[in-house]
Amino acid sequence: MARRIAVAAAFVALALVPAALAQAPAPAATPSGPPNVTAILEKGGQYTTFMRLMKETQQDTQLNSQLNSSFGNNGGGGYTVFAPTDNAFNNLKPGTLNSLTQQQQVSLVQGHILPNFYSMDSFQTASNPVRTQASGRDGPYTLNITSDTNNQVNVSSGVVEMRINNALYSAKPLAVYSVDKVLLPLELFGAKAPAAAPTPSEGKPKKGGSSDAASPDGSDDSASTGAASVRAVGWSVAGLAAVLGYLL
């Protein structure tokens, strides 16, 4: 009898093993290698224009190389990419991208890359302005990152403000977030300062004429005075001749 009970208990224990295994949480998957931003965007399926810009400016190669170098380095800052959708580019004014030089296109792409890893939670404590990979004559291009009472994260370039949508990938050293607007940099698309007004020419004649138009040596006035003197002398000689003729 005891033997039957032991056998039955063994069968029950074996039956419970699969159920226990099914309930146990699966271990967290760890990346087998460094993340590849190109593969992440391709998997997203709606970032063709941004991928093309990254390729044409070689920023995909540069970023992937930096990710390879920082992978596994806990002391590295990592990177954050704001990836505009194809619709975001389609909503730009026609000719916007074609109006940019090659270097300006590089700056546009780099303005969507932060040289630090930001999770959604760490955005809450970001210190503004946040530096991007782009830089110009006046220093690095920056963004302002804020969050509202609903923990929604907003990003502003000074020209465009938008809300961060879902994360396409977020595991240090890389975070990639989908955005529905292109972050046009203030340095490239901000209002241009008005041109300075031309100064009046110093030699411009004054309205209504002035004595400045006369000859510097006063030759006009001298000529008029000389002619009057000649006429006066002529009249004096003629008068004297008439008197002498009368007396004689």
Residue 200 lies in a domain: no
Domain count, the chain: 1
**DSSP 8-class letter at 37:** H
Neighbours of 167 (CB within 10 A): 14
Q: Give the CATH number for residue 85.
A: 2.30.180.10
Residue 73 lies in a domain: yes
Q: Is 197 left (phi over 0), alpha (psi -120 to 50) or beta?
A: beta
Residue 52 lies in a domain: yes
Residues 45-75 pLDDT 10s: 999 999 999 999 999 999 999 998 877 665 5
Residue 137 lies in a domain: yes
3-state secondary structure of 219: helix
Residue 80 lies in a domain: yes
CA angle 128, 133, 135 (to 5 degrees): 90
Residue ranges making up the domain that contains 74: 37-179
Residue 235 lies in a domain: no
pLDDT band for position 111 (cuts 50, 70, 90): very high
Residue 100 lies in a domain: yes
Q: Please report, rounded to a whole number, the percentage of residues in the chain having pLDDT higher than 70.
A: 62
Residues 167-215 pLDDT 10s: 999 999 999 999 999 999 999 998 764 555 565 555 455 555 444 444 4
**The pLDDT of residue 76 is above 70:** no
Residue 234 lies in a domain: no
Question: What is the predicted pLDDT for the residue at 46?
Answer: 95
Neighbours of 41 (CB within 10 A): 22
Closest CA to 177 of 31, 42, 70, 40: 40
More confident residue, 70 or 1: 70
pLDDT band for position 231 (cuts 50, 70, 90): low
